Structure 1
Amino acid sequence: MYSNKFGRLILGLYSCKPSAVCGAVRSAAGRSGFSWTAVCKQRTLWLQRSACLKTQRQTLPSPISARSASQTTVDPDELRRFQSLASKWWDEQGEFAALHAMNDLRVPFIRDNLLSVHGAYHPGKPLAGLRILDVGCGGGLLTEPLGRLGANVLGIDPVEHSIGTAQLHSSYDPDLRDQVCYRACTLEELSAEEEGGEEEQGAGQFDAVVASEVVEHLADLETFAFCCSHVLKPGGSLFITTINKTNLSYVLGIVAAEQLLRIVPSGTHDWEKFISPVELERLLESYGFSVQSVQGMLYNPVSGAWSWTNSTAINYALHAVKLRNDPQPHQTEAGSSHPEEHAAASHS
């Protein structure tokens, strides 16, 4: 019943104006006894806190100062949450059902863009010869299909139980034995390792870095962007899927899904951590990336399927390439422009 209600919300409200969306959710909330006033007050507090944090970030004089505030991408609260779910990664009908379904979009998105960048094609194993780092790999839901496409994939995650689940699952498929490996570590720990070690996983070792449904859970995006640039080869690709920071993503992703219909456990997402395509592009450019494409994604909870859409108002996928002559972080030209369509798409 809840899935049908949420499906109608998404399919019926996705193209509506923000006022219409809020009005519809307000009406549904009233019928269920849900306090819309409390929701609005909560969001106002979040917006005020977000503005305060943005002001504090702007006073930091350099990227080094920004990273020194945490020096880690790991949020302890997120770590505890995913530890409790570590054994459920491969339950296709469970909490991660949407991530299983997302492979129908994100795997071809990664494959096709890598083939476009690198040009070579190996029949049956199109990604053969490429090294990919899957950041926040969880139980290996994306790591395994990339390995089956011929890539040599390293999946990393700070949750040891998730890594254990990934290793156990991949052990059942002998074709993955030489293609996929896992480590329980953070991105910054991997980035700090010296190049030339036994596994040669130091700076500039990967052809691609994938962070799918990860950045909205991180504690420090500055450190994330810096480390991604550090571990990538010049010309390497960065793939990100995440949630936009819009009124629509707040209404559907938090109010409807978590607080009203309770489809997603309360506290799964923090709207303050969402980031728009324009903001993400600006951050990546300051660390030596050039964004190649941004594409909207839409999930239908009724059919359990994802589809591409022209709007990035809720979910989106991004592909960026590390420039071969890296600029210094935060020293890109002040007049650098961003595609106007990205700015338009980021509005709800």
Structure 2
Amino acid sequence: MTNADPQELAKFSDLAHKWWDPESEFRPLHQINPLRLDWIDQLASIKGKTVVDVGCGGGILAESMARRGAEVLGIDLADRPLKVAMLHAMEAGVANVSYRAVAAEALAAEQPGHFDVVTCMEMLEHVPDPSAVVRACAQMAKPGGWVFFSTLNRNPKSYLFAILGAEYVLKLLPKGTHEFSRFIRPAELSRWIREAGLDHREFKGMGYNPLTRIYSLNQDTSVNYLVACRKPAA
């Protein structure tokens, strides 16, 4: 069975036409994308590298990595966002990014050890078995390759900030975007990373200032956080 939740796929498919509107429900993705892109590029130096973006949605990160000179494949199981991503790349003239409707586990079986860089951002909390996605990401990476994840911590503060604050008070996201029970504690993700044979390299937190409306990377992983890993070279 495919490791996907039909309700989650439908949720993002229904909003696909708004994906590249920076003032839409996807405004937070547009705002955080430069932060995560720079962080990935600083560590992995993506120019000239082969990259797969797992759970790429409408292609915001995938296309931006291609603009930095990477050869990028974006994969997702939601058809409408993929079509939006393809159309946007074509209209923007970004030729070094392509998209496929394929599960991470299937691509890992098809192309093990193929990619220099694997990214899986804001996706793990939307699938039934996130540990399987972590394993697939590790399998797709070349020896010595980089693997990046981002997700949401599970604690009272993250419920307050990521659901009540972001979805109901500040209305940064549509109501129902996240399900608290699916949030992932750093210790849980760390265990899956180790079990997949990856080495931790860096944890980063991501914060939001509601007064300035500015996102920033920091050391506070209590709500949103990112993880950089490497696959051992030998």
Q: TM-score, normalised by structure 1?
A: 0.64
Equivalence for 1:166: 85
Deviation of 1:148 after TM superposition, in Å, equals 1.1
Equivalence for 1:149: 68
SS of the aligned residue for 1:104 comes to helix
Q: 2: CA distance between counterparts of 1:211 and 1:301?
A: 26
Deviation of 1:311 after TM superposition, in Å, equals 1.1
Q: 2: CA distance between counterparts of 1:320 and 1:184?
A: 25
Matches within 5 A, 1:104-143: 104-115=34-45, 127-143=46-62
Q: TM-score, normalised by structure 2?
A: 0.94
**Contact 1:72/1:220, CA 8 A, preserved across alignment:** no
**Contact 2:25/2:174, CA 8 A, preserved across alignment:** no
Deviation of 1:75 after TM superposition, in Å, equals 1.2
Deviation of 1:263 after TM superposition, in Å, equals 4.8
Q: 2: CA distance between counterparts of 1:312 and 1:210?
A: 19
1:255 aligns with 2:185: no
1:114-135 alpha-carbon deviations (Å, 9 max, x no partner): 03xxxxxxxxxxx332100001
Q: RMSD of the alignment, in Å?
A: 1.6
SS of the aligned residue for 1:77 comes to helix
Deviation of 1:259 after TM superposition, in Å, equals 4.6
Q: 1: CA distance between counterparts of 2:210 and 2:100?
A: 32
Amino acid at match of 1:188: E
Deviation of 1:224 after TM superposition, in Å, equals 0.5
Q: 1: CA distance between counterparts of 2:114 and 2:58?
A: 23
Equivalence for 2:123: 214
Matches within 5 A, 1:1-348: 71-115=1-45, 127-174=46-93, 176-177=94-95, 179-193=96-110, 202-259=111-168, 263-325=172-234
SS of the aligned residue for 2:102 comes to coil
1:300-330 alpha-carbon deviations (Å, 9 max, x no partner): 34443211222111111110011234xxxxx
**Contact 1:101/1:304, CA 8 A, preserved across alignment:** no
Larger relative strand fraction? 2
Q: 2: CA distance between counterparts of 1:106 and 1:290?
A: 20
Deviation of 1:205 after TM superposition, in Å, equals 0.5
Answer with 1 or 2: which has the greater Rg: 1
Q: 1: CA distance between counterparts of 2:172 and 2:215?
A: 17
Task: State the percentage of identical aligned residues.
Answer: 39
Amino acid at match of 1:129: G
Amino acid at match of 1:184: A
Residues 261, 307 of structure 1: alpha-carbon distance in 2 compared, 3 angstrom cutoff: closer
**Contact 1:98/1:304, CA 8 A, preserved across alignment:** no
Q: 2: CA distance between counterparts of 1:171 and 1:315?
A: 32
Amino acid at match of 1:168: L
1:122-178 alpha-carbon deviations (Å, 9 max, x no partner): xxxxx332100001111110011100111000001111111110111111223x21x
SS of the aligned residue for 1:142 comes to helix
